[in-house]
């Protein structure tokens, strides 16, 4: 059996002492790292509501696809298959009329939208705008594009366009409309006449 020299023993002791010191430092370092990570997780959870108000970095088309094409439309198409398309459309029209008839509905709806929203999702031309008559022509509509591409324009009309009648009534107006982009026409033409009395 070979006996280690005193200089080899000192080297081994040095190695062991340094290894223990390094290991202890790493343990303390890991504990600090994990406690720091835990603190960040807690901080993230606490600041989550702040993240909700951040800009999502999505285009309007991406938002409409996410909201309508990938979520709501497939759900409503599935419901329409189960209950019958005509019955589903009539139910949607009834519900849309009820919701759009609420006096504060449009103000609540608009309060969530950026100022430029309507200009970004519609091409709208004001044909006439007097106290008794307003005529609008819409040549592009992201709602119509989204629902038509999903082969669900009848659902889109019942869910969205149909609400224009209730909205007009709330403003003491009569709505006349023979063409809509949603129904496959070249444009929407909305004529809103003030109701006397």
pLDDT for res 131: 93
In this prediction, residue 141 carries a pLDDT of 97
* DSSP codes of every residue in 31-78: HHHHHHHHHHHHHHHHTHHHHHTS-----HHHHHIIIIIIIIHHHHHH
Q: Judge whether 93 lies within some domain.
A: yes
Is residue 51 assigned to a domain? Answer: no
pTM: 0.73
Question: Quick one: what percent of the chain has pLDDT higher than 90?
Answer: 67
Residues 31-46, mean pLDDT to the nearest whole number: 52
pLDDT of the residue at 52: 84
Which range (8-17, 69-78, 121-130) has the least confidence? 8-17
| 6 belongs to a structural domain | no
User: Does residue 37 have a pLDDT over 60?
Assistant: no
Q: How many domains does the chain have?
A: 1
Give the pLDDT band (50/70/90) at residue 45.
low
- Domain assignment present for residue 152? The answer is yes
Residue 41 located in a structural domain: no
């Amino acid at each position: 059996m070979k006996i280690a020299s005193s200089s080899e023993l000192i080297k081994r002791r040095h190695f062991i002492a340094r290894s223990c010191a390094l290991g202890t430092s790493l343990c303390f370092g890991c504990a600090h790292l994990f406690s720091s990570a835990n603190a960040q997780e807690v901080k993230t959870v606490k600041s989550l509501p702040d993240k909700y108000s951040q800009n999502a970095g999505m285009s309007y088309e991406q938002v409409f696809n996410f909201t309508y094409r990938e979520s709501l439309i497939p759900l409503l198409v599935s419901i329409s298959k189960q209950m019958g398309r005509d019955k589903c459309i009539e139910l949607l029209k009834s519900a849309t009329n009820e919701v759009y008839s609420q006096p504060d509905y449009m103000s609540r709806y608009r309060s969530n939208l950026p100022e430029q929203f309507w200009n970004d999702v519609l091409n709208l031309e004001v044909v006439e705008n007097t106290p008794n008559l307003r005529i609008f022509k819409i040549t592009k509509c992201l709602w119509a594009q989204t629902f038509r591409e999903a082969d669900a324009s009848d659902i889109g009309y019942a869910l969205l366009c149909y609400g224009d009648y209730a909205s007009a009534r709330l403003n003491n107006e009569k709505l006349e409309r023979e063409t809509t982009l949603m129904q496959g026409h070249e444009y929407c033409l909305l004529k809103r006449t003030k109701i006397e009395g």
